[in-house]
Amino acid sequence: MRLLQLLKLLSRMRKGRWQAFACSAALLGTLACAPHVRTVPPRPQPPVPVSAESPWSAPIAEALARAGGNRLELEKALRQAPAAQQEGMRFLVANMPEVDLKKLNSAYLLDTVALAYEAYDTAPWKARIPKHLFLNDVLPYACLTEQRDGSRRYLRQVAAPLVLDCATPAEAAHHLNQQLFLRLKAHYSTAGTKPDQCALETIASGKASCIGLSVLLVGACRAVGIPARLVGIPLWPDNRGTHEWVEIWDGDWHFMGADEPYSEGLDHAWFNQDASKAIRDVPQHAIYATSFEPTGLCFPMLWAPQVRWIHAVNVTDRYRSAWPAPTAPAGH
């Protein structure tokens, strides 16, 4: 049954698929050293005139104006969202990148928002999650430039039983990291994978880079109401490579390597000491976390340095704290 559901989800994905991409270490190093990749903020957009008769707030009206021919789909989603979900729908539309404003339909958005509120409202830890973190780190449908695959429903079906007995976001996230990849038979590989692989592509192929595995784990966490975001560094301070991982919220942000669980729990990884040497004010050696709402800072993507619409927060200072680095798990 789950295989059939997955195939149906895959069939709904847009027919145009991005060309497979394999990054060599030399290319990663070259791109990571380009300072403009990380530091140029999104170009400010001129304000869109809002009619006095418009039923929408200025941010919504401006987003609708940029949607082009997809405006009617967005307006349909805004009007059909239940009253209890209006705040979430308006947050998505107001902060959505232009590429999504022009292509996501109302059915996709209504389903995304409904599933996010269902996860949030039924999570045992709902009282621990501030509303702004729900909006920015549970509700969003994507992390980076990956295909908008509509995988949330499937990921909720898979992940919810795995965290049924968990009482906190941290416990649930750690348990997901231990069980999810084994259940889906998806593990690390750069052979024939895209750098920004979506969750369904990873599940179908059974392999992904650290980026693809992180996108999958973030999606699973969000599907059960855990605030989660993707984190990465363009280049370790010793210039030996790049890496991406996951942060989840439980009173504060905690990190874990996707498909790299440690018995000690969260905030333990093979890269602890490497991360503690990150340099906040050197863009290629700083650590960034994704954000759906604008922050004035772009998340650096080595495969798409021209993309400026993935927002970021510089979180280097938290990683500067010296965590003792445990021994890496077998195979890493």
Write the pLDDT tens digit of every residue in 93-147: 999 999 999 999 999 999 999 999 999 999 999 999 999 999 999 999 999 999 9
What SS3 class is residue 313? Answer: strand
Write down the pLDDT at residue 323: 56
Write down the pLDDT at residue 5: 53
Predicted confidence (pLDDT) per residue in 117-129, tens digit: 999 999 999 999 9
All domains of the chain in start order, with CATH: 1-10+24-44+143-332 (3.10.620), 45-122 (no CATH)
* Mean pLDDT on 301-319: 94
CA–CA gap between residue 240 and residue 153 (Å, rounded): 38
Contact between residue 39 and residue 77 where contact means Cβ atoms under 8 Å apart: no
CA distances for 246 relative to 112, 147, 165, 254, 309, angstroms: 21, 19, 22, 8, 20
| Structure tokens that stand for 221 in this block | 């966490």
* Mean pLDDT on 285-289: 97
In the chain, pLDDT over 90 holds for what percent of residues? Answer: 77
CA–CA gap between residue 113 and residue 87 (Å, rounded): 10
Per-residue pLDDT band for 15 (boundaries 50, 70, 90) equals very low
| For residue 284, pLDDT beyond 90 | yes
In the chain, pLDDT over 70 holds for what percent of residues? Answer: 80
Q: Where do the H-state alpha helices sit in the chain?
A: 2-12, 25-32, 36-39, 58-66, 71-80, 86-95, 98-101, 106-122, 131-137, 152-162, 169-184, 199-205, 210-223, 272-276, 316-319
What SS3 class is residue 169? Answer: helix
Contact between residue 137 and residue 227 where contact means Cβ atoms under 8 Å apart: yes
Using a 10 angstrom Cβ sphere, with 0-12 exposed, 13-18 middle and 19 or more buried, the burial of residue 265 is middle
| Residue appearing with tokens 């991406």 | 244
Per-residue pLDDT band for 192 (boundaries 50, 70, 90) equals confident
Per-residue pLDDT band for 157 (boundaries 50, 70, 90) equals very high
Predicted confidence (pLDDT) per residue in 158-174, tens digit: 999 999 999 999 999 99
Mean pLDDT is lowest, of 28-42, 51-65, 281-295, for 28-42
Strands 243-249 and 253-256: antiparallel
Greater pLDDT, 6 or 250: 250
pTM given for the model = 0.84
Mean pLDDT is lowest, of 14-18, 239-243, 245-249, for 14-18
| Residue appearing with tokens 């052979």 | 191
| Structure tokens that stand for 124 in this block | 């045992």
* Mean pLDDT on 272-301: 96
* Mean pLDDT on 234-253: 96
Predicted confidence (pLDDT) per residue in 52-80, tens digit: 456 889 999 999 999 999 999 999 999 99
Q: Which residues contact 132 (CB under 8 A, 6 or more apart)?
A: none
